[in-house]
A and B are shown apart, each in its own frame.
Chain A
Amino acid sequence: MDNIAIKTQNLVKHFGKGDTLVEVINDATFEIKKGELVALIAPSGAGKTTLLMMIGCVLTPTSGQIWLGEEKVYDNKWLTKEKRRIRREKIGFIFQAHYLIPFLNVIENVTLIPQINGVSLKEAKKEALELLDYFGIKDKANEMPANLSGGQNQRVAIARALANKPEIILADEPTAALDSKRSVDVVKMLKKIAIEQSVAVIMVTHDEAMVPLCDRVLTIKDKKVYNLSIDEYKNKTVV
């Protein structure tokens, strides 16, 4: 269990009731290790975002269990009232668009969550600058998001996701708005982060070209979630 970052057991999600009941995820049982970059690939409407939000403690599953690291957070009900604290402390989010807070500059965007977690402003700034330096945008620290390019903003968003030293990064189509070269750069960057910082990364993508860069693939077929190796996915051995 020491090496497991995410574990789900018989995770089920239904929307609605009675005649209007819609079954989205019927059985999600998988484990993701620390340091792994996992692609979540499935057709639109298959339930990728639903699965991501259940793991991110945003959406309440209908039944099942979820572990984040060693902490069991869901067992047919949330085991903590502080879901937001769990998100703040354990999870980093990256979205399709950068979704930086437009009225905060780059360094303020990156230091916001660490400060809420109790890190001093000085320490948070120091670590944020290191992160920005890592992504090659240290000189943009005092710029507003509106003054940066799309690629620069996405790098700030990744820096923000890492600023709280998360155990898990949930990335919802982080390359959708980027060209193929930048997409590869971002995925390579996520892979590097996963290895160097021992973080589990789940990345929703539609781009099959990104699959070889990942360690494993999660896919959803007929409401069931499959956790496949790259070869298994390529050979369609299970799905």
Chain B
Amino acid sequence: MINLAYKDVSHALGKFVVTSMGVGMLLGIVMIMIGVYRGMVIDAQVLINDINADIWVVQENTLGPFAQSSRVHTDLKDSIKAIDGVDKSANLTFQNIQMPINGTDERAFVVGYDPFGEINPINPKTIIKGRAILKEHYEIVTTDKLGYKLNEKIALGRHEYRVVGITHGTVSSGGDPLVFLSLKDAQELQFSYSNFRIRSDRERGIKSSAQQLVNCAVATLKSGYNPQMVAKEIQKYKHKSVYTQSQEKEILTKNLIKMASKQIGMFTVILIIVSTIIIALIIYTMTLEKIKEIAIMKLLGVPNSLIIKMIAQETLLMGILAFFFGLIFSHLIYTKFPKRVVLQNPDAIMLFIIVIVASIIASLIGIKKVISANPAEAIGG
């Protein structure tokens, strides 16, 4: 039996392929949008995963240090070490700064840590050039995205820092590139005021204790200890907010990127609806273009089922082609985006199913037109 869809598509192959490519680009954008969301979730967890601490201790009644501002004293890391089950502890600082690059400023996220401490936030696997910080002052590790070269000098605050290491794929929860400084340098950068401000504070009788502050203390546990139990203990004695690693991740993904993900989700849903409408309109137009032939076929006695099959097959074929064009398009352009875009197979499979369902829905409008086509329209006069 003749496959009418195959014949019709072959007859106008160029037009069909170009139309599918157009819809495919739209689907490619949908894939990118999903990828942006996945990238945000991954970015949100990169730093937490690299630090790999079991416990996060932050300022009381805050969701710090990422979702909310948090300041704790430097000696906190020593006092929590006294809690049963804590193996290692360290102080960390986090802040956003503007990095000078080729005369312009680039936003970056500074992680301050004690290079001689027990917990190192730099994942050695991410270092692609140089090394981690080995001195207490004036060394910096930057991510490759910022474009600095090894041994390059960067002026930050009152000092210059030499690039001793370059990492890859290290970003903050907001997707900003990471730079690492020693804890003391980071504290000075975050908490030190200008000489004028210090003199002004002294005259007002204000004593600065900022250098004694960090944004949080983190700890790893000895094996066999339950992080939640230890967190409870720390909270009980230290009057701080304490989170386990999974809770901190949840704060980041649920609180910090909740709105952004909702926004992207909304945008993705709208794009899918728009794609469905576009496919439906294309199929409707294609059906209208063939309405005379359809009327003739009906007049000659071709059953509706055969004509409906043609419309449905063409719609499905367009959906499938558009999906694969979208897949190719998204894979060609996703690396060009400034922030991480993660294209995952399960998302592609889910989108494929949605496209198939959308195509079936889209074909209904064409099928309705076929059913209502009057065979008498084939005859003039």
Contact = CB atoms under 8 A, between A and B. Distances in A.
Interface of A: 44, 48-49, 52-53, 56, 58-59, 84-89, 91, 93, 95-96, 99, 101-104, 108, 111-113, 115-116, 121, 144, 160, 164, 172-173, 204
B205 interface: no
A173 B302 contact: no
A49 B293 contact: no
Contact of B7 (A58, A88, A108, A121): A108
A116 B301 CA distance: 9
Contacts of B292: 99
A115 B306 CA distance: 12
A237 to B, nearest CB: 27
Of the candidates A56, A86, A93, A121, the one having the most CB atoms from chain B within 10 angstroms of its own CB is A93
B379 A84 contact: no
B301 to A, nearest CB: 3
Interface string B366-381: 0000000001101111
B11 interface: yes
Contacts, number: 82
Given A93-B299, A101-B296, A116-B306, A53 B7 contact: no
B300 interface: yes
B2 A84 contact: no
Given A49-B379, A99-B292, A103-B7, A111 B299 contact: no
30 contacts: A44-B381, A48-B381, A49-B380, A52-B379, A58-B376, A59-B376, A84-B298, A87-B299, A91-B301, A95-B378, A95-B379, A95-B380, A96-B381, A99-B292, A101-B297, A103-B7, A103-B8, A103-B10, A108-B7, A112-B297, A112-B300, A113-B301, A115-B1, A115-B2, A116-B1, A116-B301, A116-B303, A116-B306, A164-B301, A204-B381
Interface in B289-325: 292-293, 296-303, 306
A172 B380 contact: yes
B78 to A, nearest CB: 81
Given A99-B296, A108-B7, 7 more contacts: A58-B299, A103-B8, A104-B7, A112-B297, A112-B302, A115-B1, A172-B380
A48 B306 CA distance: 30
B303 A101 contact: no
Contacts of B379: 49, 52-53, 58, 95, 172
Interface of B: 1-2, 4, 7-8, 10-12, 292-293, 296-303, 306, 375-376, 378-381
A112 B302 CA distance: 8
Contacts of B303: 84, 116
Nearest to A146: B11
Nearest to B304: A84
A101 B299 contact: no
Contacts of B7: 103-104, 108
Contact of A89 (B4, B8, B301, B302): B301
A84 B301 CA distance: 5
Nearest to B1: A115
Contacts of A112: 2, 297, 300, 302
A88 B296 CA distance: 12
A166 to B, nearest CB: 10
Contact of A96 (B10, B11, B375, B380): B380
B89 to A, nearest CB: 75
A89 B301 CA distance: 8
Q: Which 4 A-B pairs have the closest CB atoms?
A: A88-B301, A103-B11, A87-B301, A49-B381
A84 B10 CA distance: 28
Contact of B302 (A49, A95, A116): A116
B2 to A, nearest CB: 6
A102 B292 CA distance: 11
A49 B380 CA distance: 8
A84 B307 CA distance: 13
Contacts of B11: 102-103, 144
Given A172-B379, A173-B381, A104 B300 contact: no
Contacts of B381: 44, 48-49, 96, 172-173, 204
